[in-house]
Structure 1
Amino acid sequence: MTNFVLVAGAWLGAWAWDEVAAELRAAGHDVHPLTLSGLAEKQGVPAGQRTHVLDIVDEVERLDLRDVVLVGHSYAGVPVGQAAERMGDRLSRVVFVDAMVPVDGESSLSGWPSDEVREAIAATGFWPPQTAEDYAGQGLTDEQIARIVNGSTPHPGGTATEPAVLTGDLGKLPGTYIKCLLDGDEPWGAAAELLKSDRWELVNMNTGHWPMFSQPRELAQILHQSVTAP
């Protein structure tokens, strides 16, 4: 029995996976959406980057999950990648959904223009959620945008500024990178490097950065196929 552990990106909680989780369960999988510390129903819980890694590892161990497909969206790729290499034989596959890829010693804000985000974190301690206008051009309906905006919570700043810690090579793990084409034509930076490994596959989706909202059925099908393909 495949166990999908789903971790959404900045500002979001387990609720973001509701539609994808329903599709995967209908296909016969066990699904475990996870809210990271400091977000959604866990607001107020202090969190740094290591906290988010432990959130994932501890949940897998608490439930004694095996044959785990660990899925990280956007920001969550950073803690998911670190957690994946700590899971040993519990891990079946890691999937990055248009996600940041962790690099040892670098934070999730490394490698892209983030001065404004860093200033907000320095001033408030949080990475503030985006506004409705920020979701334009990402294949989302007005209702979907409203759902994301209304459900978003400020993201604990330390999780974005503290460095990742990797002890191995993620390229040696079996993995899938899902690239959402409305958010850029191809993976770049650490994601592009990861895909040079013959253990990783690239799958494109013709939608924006939040496919769990814009194309949940299609995303669930890709996840299903990642464990059923020969």
Structure 2
Amino acid sequence: MANFVLVPGAWLGAWAWDEVAGLIREAGHAVYPVTLSGLAERQGDDAAKVSQTQHVDDIVAVVEDNDLREVVLAGHSYSGIPAGQAAARIGDRLRRVVYVDSNIPTDGKSFIDGSSDEGRAWLEGQIAESGGFWPPLEPADYVGQDLTDDAIATIVERSTPHPGRAISEPAQLVQPIGDLPTTYIKCLMDGAIPSSDVLEQLKSPSWELVDLGTGHWPMFSQPTELARIFLDLD
């Protein structure tokens, strides 16, 4: 039996994994969906100050507090950055890292650092204008990503502002991510080719690439297929 620790991307909470988690549990595994600090039910007065380091600590705490072994640690979108760092910190508790159409951590670089100059200016402007948060997306931003109208409505309704500090703070790696057993799931409707940093890591014999013919939020658009990929992992 594996222990699946599932970390949602920006603006989302553990609720985003409900359908996928149910399918994995039906197959006999344990699942620990994570809500990161400052998001969903973990919002608070100091949410804007929550750091990316705190998000790494959140993930490690789920593993250590529950004394988990054989951990499959999955990070979606933004959360690939803290999940990749947490994977190294949990040592021999780790079975595999799974990046779900996500960013990956680079030592000394933040989520924002992966953006173009135009993208950086836009993100920094959004954070400044919203009091230290990255505001959730609008319904139109989800069009063309294989999502039903109901799914889009649910995502928009339940999303919460993302702590700006978390996407501005650089990653701190304690081990090269290329050394860890890793699966990268590329959602093809969000771009058919992985980013250059992912392609570089895929040169490692420890990494494998899996394509999924859907959009950037597969836990909503193709939960059954995403769960199958998880369950088929070595």
The alignment's TM-score, normalised by the length of structure 1, stands at: 0.97
Cα distance, 1:91 vs. partner? 0.3
Are 1:79 and 2:82 an aligned pair? yes
Are 1:121 and 2:127 an aligned pair? yes
For structure 2, the residue ranges without an aligned partner over 5 or more in a row are none
Are 1:24 and 2:27 an aligned pair? no
Task: Give the distance between the partners of 2:221 and 2:74, measured in 1 at CA.
Answer: 17
Are 1:96 and 2:102 an aligned pair? no
Cα distance, 1:114 vs. partner? 2.7
Partner of residue 143, structure 1? 150
Cα distance, 1:167 vs. partner? 2.4
Partner amino acid for 1:54?
A: D
Q: How does 1:33-44 map to 2 (within 5 A)?
A: 33-44=33-44
Using the TM superposition, name which of 136-145 and 190-199 deviates more.
190-199
Query: Which contiguous aligned blocks of 4+ residues in structure 1 show a shift greater than 4 angstroms?
Result: none
Q: Spell out, residue by residue over 1:112-164, the C-alpha distance to the aligned partner (whole angstroms, 9 max, x if none).
A: 22321111112320000000000010000100100110110000000000000
C-alpha contact (below 8 Å) 1:93/1:175 kept by paired residues: yes
Are 1:60 and 2:92 an aligned pair? no
Cα distance, 1:196 vs. partner? 1.1
User: What SS does the corresponding residue of 2:113 show, helix, strand or coil?
Assistant: coil
C-alpha contact (below 8 Å) 1:102/1:190 kept by paired residues: no
Cα distance, 1:111 vs. partner? 2.2
Q: How does 1:1-230 map to 2 (within 5 A)?
A: 1-44=1-44, 45=47, 46-112=49-115, 113-123=119-129, 124-227=131-234
Task: Give the distance between the partners of 1:183 and 1:60, measured in 2 at CA.
Answer: 30
Using the TM superposition, name which of 43-52 and 86-95 deviates more.
43-52
Partner amino acid for 1:65?
A: L
Q: Spell out, residue by residue over 1:64-86, the C-alpha distance to the aligned partner (whole angstroms, 9 max, x if none).
A: 00000000000000000010010
C-alpha contact (below 8 Å) 2:89/2:174 kept by paired residues: no
Partner amino acid for 1:109?
A: I
Task: Give the distance between the partners of 2:111 and 2:20, measured in 1 at CA.
Answer: 25
Partner amino acid for 2:114?
A: G
Using the TM superposition, name which of 167-176 and 206-215 deviates more.
167-176
Task: Give the distance between the partners of 1:54 and 1:40, measured in 2 at CA.
Answer: 17
Task: Give the distance between the partners of 1:65 and 1:189, measured in 2 at CA.
Answer: 33
User: What SS does the corresponding residue of 2:233 show, helix, strand or coil?
Assistant: helix
User: What SS does the corresponding residue of 1:226 show, helix, strand or coil?
Assistant: coil
The count of aligned residue pairs is: 227
The alignment's TM-score, normalised by the length of structure 2, stands at: 0.95
CA RMSD of aligned residues (A): 0.9
Q: Spell out, residue by residue over 1:19-73, the C-alpha distance to the aligned partner (whole angstroms, 9 max, x if none).
A: 0000000111100000000000001144101100000001110000000000000
C-alpha contact (below 8 Å) 1:103/1:166 kept by paired residues: yes
Q: Spell out, residue by residue over 1:155-212, the C-alpha distance to the aligned partner (whole angstroms, 9 max, x if none).
A: 0000000000012211110010000000001111221111111111100000000000
- What is the percent sequence identity of the aligned residues? 59
Task: Give the distance between the partners of 1:26 and 1:155, measured in 2 at CA.
Answer: 31
